[in-house]
Each structure stands twice: as C-alpha cells, then as structure tokens.
Structure 1
Amino acid sequence: MTDSAFWITEPTSEVVQGAGAGGNGLIWVGHGSATIATGVNYGPVRVTVDARSQEPSLDLEDWEEVVEVSIHFETDEADLESMGGAIEEEPQEMPLSAAGPGWYRLRVHARGRDEGAEAIDIDIDADPVEEYLIQSWPTPQAPEIRHKTTDTHGAEVRART
C-alpha cells in the first residue's frame, strides 16, 4: 500500500483521481473502481474480502468506520491493487464481482487508521496496524450510507476540500 490508499479495480476501470479529500473519508467510487483511504502513507494493511450473493448482516461493534456505496462492474474480474506496497497476504484473485457484470454494494469497514496516520514509516515486513473488511454483493444501485464514522483520520479527510 502506498500514497495513503489502495484500490478496487477491474480491467475496464478508471481509478478515481483526486480521492482523499472530502466525501465520506473512506471510499470514493469511479467507473469500475474504488479508492479506499488509509491512514498509513506507506506500509502493510490487512484486508479481508467477503463476497456474498445477498446483503450480509451489519456488524459495527469492532469497527471505527463503516461506509456502504454502490459500484458498477462491467466484468467479473474486480480485485484489489496497491501501488508499490503490500496488502498483507495479497490474494491472487478477489471475488468482489464474482456474480458477473452489474451493480454491487461495497460495505467497507476500517479500524486502526488513526494509528497508521501517526506512524512515520512502517516497515513493509511489520504487522499491519490497519485492518479492512470489504463486503460485496450484487444489488441495484442505492445511495451511500455512512453507518459509522468515528476515527479521527476519517474526520480529517472529510473536512478537506
């Protein structure tokens, strides 16, 4: 992971430019892509992907930020990418759009971003201080939902213009 973000992309995607200011402070959606803001500028993060056929139950208890957005995928090949860094135990394929082309919901959970933002440099081999859970399921487009927004880093990102 680098540049305070990692991405969900598919082969036909256009990565969101200028993400990292305003909005919900966690995820920005573009055409077949989404940018997820991290606290750490450079270093490892732990990411778990949970692809479902229908909406999973909502769990807010152990997370500092939880935001849900709609995204349209044109393929069944959406996966995670980082630029020059590492997503711990990066899977070869992420099943985010496994049900095929169409509209999906992404529910992104985050914790540890405040600790990540305070760290100057995190060794690439160190244990991640930030953790993310990305749930996806096919469903019609719907408005963004900010289920929980409690970390300081997210508040600072939301305040940027």
Structure 2
Amino acid sequence: MDEMSGWVMAEYRSICLLDDPPADLDVTSAEDVDDYLPPPDAPDGFDLLTAAPGVVAVSTGVMRGRVHLTVHVLDSEPRELAEGDWETVEELGFRALSAYTHAAAGNYYPFAATSPGMFERSVTPAGAGFYRVRAHELNRGKNLGEHRDDNDPPTEERFLLQVWPTTTEDEDRRRLVGRDPTLLL
C-alpha cells in the first residue's frame, strides 16, 4: 500500500483526483481530461463521489477551506471498510487516462507537495485503464458552505480515498455507509 496524507485546500466545495501528465510528455494522441470537466453531478442517492474519464470529484462541506485528505493506493480491493467512525462511504469506478492521476483542488489544479510523500505520486501507477475508488468522509456537515482563507484554521473534515486497479469497467456506484445523502446544496 502506498499512502499519502496531509491538509489540503478544498475549492468550490470539492477536492479531486485528476489526470495531470507532465508538461513535457507527448500525449497528443491521448484523451484530455479537459474534455470531461467539470464531471457530472452525482445521481440521486449519492452525494460524495462523481467521476468522468480522468477525474474523480469528492464533495466537501466547506466551500473553501483546508480539509484532511489521506489517499491509499492499493493493489486490489480492500476486504473490509477502513477503520474509523466514517459518516459516509461511497464507491465507484472510473477510467484513468494515464499513469499521472494526482490529488487536486476543486478548481482542478494539482496540489503542490509541501513535504515528501504528500500527494506527489500518482494514484494510477498501473497507467491508463479501469480503477475503483472508495471514499470515506467524517465531519463533512460541520462547516457547510463556509469560506476560509489560507491562514484560517482547518476544518474538522476528514477524507480517506482508497484506489485500486480493476480489469474491467465497473461504473456501478455503491453507498456502503450512510443512510441518506446529506443536503449540501
């Protein structure tokens, strides 16, 4: 398991995983994630995750502010849910466009790694293809709609994303924890 963790700035009520190949890499024949931005809204019954080719968006409660994000890059599907008192856990499949999918802010701009191991590695090291992501959240409803500046204290929001490759496309959404979607509009 590869783990990346730290405080990140949510923008426009979201954080995301975004295909972001290096600028010097020739990807002229590849699809561009810009063709799929912004990703579609989540369907009824789901409110934490949505995806399109090359991007997975995670809805935060805070409009703008620091939230804690941990990403686990796994070799295969976890057998059990991650330990913790998670309020919501959702899972869905997505198609990576390259081996360069990184954590990003809701304005679809990759986070700058401020310390070794903090979101500098790709969550799709196996390259283009099919993956699943399982998102866990805690305290998303505590700061609904707030706007915090860079120097303001972080929120209490916590997110864990687990990502693993699959051999087939599986866009099936699953809500594993949580009764009804919270109203975050």
The interval holding the TM-score normalised by the smaller chain is 0.7 to 0.9
* CA radius of gyration, larger in: 2
Which consecutive unaligned segments of at least 5 residues does structure 1 have? none
Q: Which AA in structure 1 matches 2:104?
A: E
Partner of 2:135: 108
Q: Distance in 1 between matches of 2:148 and 2:110?
A: 11
Q: What is the distance in 1 between the residues matched to 2:52 and 2:109?
A: 22
Tell whether the 8 Å contact from 1:15 to 1:34 is kept in structure 2 after alignment. Answer: no
Contact 2:53 / 2:97 at 8 angstroms: preserved in 1? no
Deviates more, 1:45-54 or 1:22-31: 22-31
> Residues 16 and 120 from structure 1, CA distance in 2 versus in 1: closer, same or farther, beyond 3 angstroms?
closer
Question: Following the alignment from structure 1 to structure 2, what is the Cα–Cα distance between the partners of residues 84 and 122?
Answer: 18
Identity %: 23
Q: Which residue of 1 aligns with 2:150?
A: 124
Matches of 1:123 and 1:150, distance apart in 2: 32
Across the two proteins, how many residue pairs are aligned to each other? 155
Q: Structure 2 regions of 5+ residues with no counterpart?
A: 1-9, 21-31
Superposed, which structure 2 residues align to 1:74-93 within 5 Å?
A: 74-82=97-105, 83=107, 91-93=118-120
What is the identity, as a one-letter code, of the residue corresponding to 2:143?
A: G
Aligned-pair RMSD on alpha carbons? 2.8
Q: Would you say the 8 A contact 2:18–2:110 is kept in 1?
A: no
The verdict on how the C-alpha distance between 1:21 and 1:38 changes in structure 2, with shifts beyond 3 A counting, is farther
Q: 1:65 aligns with which of 76, 79, 88?
A: 88
Mapping of residues 133-144 of structure 1, within 5 Å: 133-139=160-166, 140-142=168-170, 143-144=172-173
Distance 1:94 1:104, change over 3 A: same
After TM superposition, what 4+ stretches of structure 1 lie above 6 angstroms from structure 2?
84-90
Q: 1:123 to 1:150 in 2, by over 3 A?
A: farther
Structure 2 CA distance for partners of 1:120 and 1:88, relative to 1, 3 Å = farther
Greater fraction helix:
1
State the match for 2:176 in structure 1.
147
Q: Report the Cα distance in structure 1 between the residues aligned to 2:160 and 2:110, rounded to whole angstroms.
A: 16
What code does the residue aligned with 1:144 have? R
Q: Report the TM-score, using the length of structure 2 for normalisation.
A: 0.72
For the 8 Å contact 2:103–2:119, the answer to whether it is kept is no
Letter in 1 for 2:16: W
CA deviation string 1:68-109 (max 9, x = no partner): 100111211001111399979763424310122110010011
Q: Provide the C-alpha distance between the structure 2 equivalents of 1:115 and 1:80, rounded to a whole number of angstroms.
A: 23
For 2:109 and 2:100, the matched residues in 1 are separated by 21
